[in-house]
Structure 1
């Protein structure tokens, strides 16, 4: 098996990752037509109690998920081993499922009379094959490592409109995927590998700026006329930063971790979808009027969602011109950090110059 890193193999890796991310998007948005660009026609799937040909699997999977209110499949680690025109791939995935109180009884996500959530961690073990210039899945297996059932506790998200939470097969991410209905989803162009890397850096810089309260970094995230949209509230990015200094700055700590990324390019414009899971430690002193509202006691809020971004390349630099956040799920619970409570603060991460990440972003601060 080959472990050589060449321009060709890196492009192949990018194409394979795109396929994996398209699978997750197709599942979460119920855009089942996208599965045609995920599997070879004779592919097979084995996921828990369902399986068979990929078309049989999609039919079974769509029926299984029909009563589920929302899903969020965020992938992380991806390992790829090439063997000629075959690639053996392992992908870690964390999947969230929201089951409403009125879901029908029975099945893998059967109703209980009360709303509940299922979170599971698993791995996709895939065999990809290169045929006619396209990498697609020839065989997929799901190995589930853990699964957790818990009552729904979505806090302030309950009052958020469905449009701001993301919908099935809607227009929110249409700008990212609609071109795929007709475009040939083959090899990733070498020139776009550089563009994708720069764009990913910008998205990750946004998360770092929020978590470390490095608000000055936002000037390297947005073009000057950029704007943000959160729960239907549209603001210039500068005003967003002004508000975030209070709303996010009042939290004890935050942790925004990105996963799947999908790109759609049109010249110097890129539409990008990024999955994100975010942790928030909320003290009683946090403002009571914000999304992460202060209460009588400390609590932790974890949310999963997507960034839908429009990037433009100007003067040779990719920056955001529009950043939209959609929260798909949220779970609030009491603080129970165990022995971490005794860990020195210097080992838990800091804000500003005191954090160990300073050498990573120092060049951007000059």
Structure 2
């Protein structure tokens, strides 16, 4: 049973790393992102590629035109090989952008192809390639700052990261 349990633990650690990275990207948090990549890692997103520091400078603080993002992570297929692994993970990413004509909402569907390495018991990304399946421009962005679907918000923290990140206080236990 022990090798099977270790493979399960390794797969969960890899999935956790992918989720933490998406969280870091959505918050443009260099600390969260850095904890998911090995320093000498490489990336290729088709529209931008290079080493990890190039990636970090691209994502943090991010383009002024990209006001909000949300990455939804789908299923991962993970193949383990001792202290290395390959993972294909589906991703659906939302972006609110302003290219000079007002806010627009866009979405991209694709897959991350990640090569992971385990060092000192920790899994991190050593290489990532982004494959694109589709992109959709949803048009002019709706103003959801005061509520959704015609209903007003009952408190300011419901507006997400645009109004400070309530989840940071929630995880820290500072909400009552």
Q: Same fold (TM over 0.5)?
A: yes
Please state if 1:165 is matched with 2:152.
no
> 2:142 maps to what in 1?
154
> 2:21 maps to what in 1?
23
Aligned residues: 167
> 1:43 maps to what in 2?
41
Query: Mind listing any 5+ residue stretches in structure 1 that lack a counterpart?
Result: 104-110, 179-270, 272-309, 311-321, 323-366
> 2:31 maps to what in 1?
33
Larger Rg: 1
1:64 positional shift: 4.3
- What do the CA deviations read for 1:115-154 (whole angstroms, capped 9, x no partner)? 2111110100000011111110000110111001121353
In the superposition, the TM-score normalised over structure 2's length comes to 0.83
> 1:60 maps to what in 2?
58
- What do the CA deviations read for 1:247-305 (whole angstroms, capped 9, x no partner)? xxxxxxxxxxxxxxxxxxxxxxxx8xxxxxxxxxxxxxxxxxxxxxxxxxxxxxxxxxx
In the superposition, the TM-score normalised over structure 1's length comes to 0.42
The CA distance in 2 between the partners of 1:136 and 1:92, in whole Å, is 18
> 2:71 maps to what in 1?
73
Q: 1:81 to 1:146 in 2, by over 3 A?
A: same
Check the 8 A contact 2:157/2:165 in 1, yes or no. Answer: no
Where relative contact order (Cα < 8 A, 6+ residues apart) is larger, the structure is: 2
Q: 1:64 to 1:95 in 2, by over 3 A?
A: same
Task: Return the match for 2:129 from 136, 141, 149.
Answer: 141
Matches within 5 A, 1:285-304: none
Judging by fraction of residues, say which structure has more strand: 2
Query: Mind listing any 5+ residue stretches in structure 2 that lack a counterpart?
Result: 148-152
Check the 8 A contact 1:29/1:168 in 2, yes or no. Answer: no
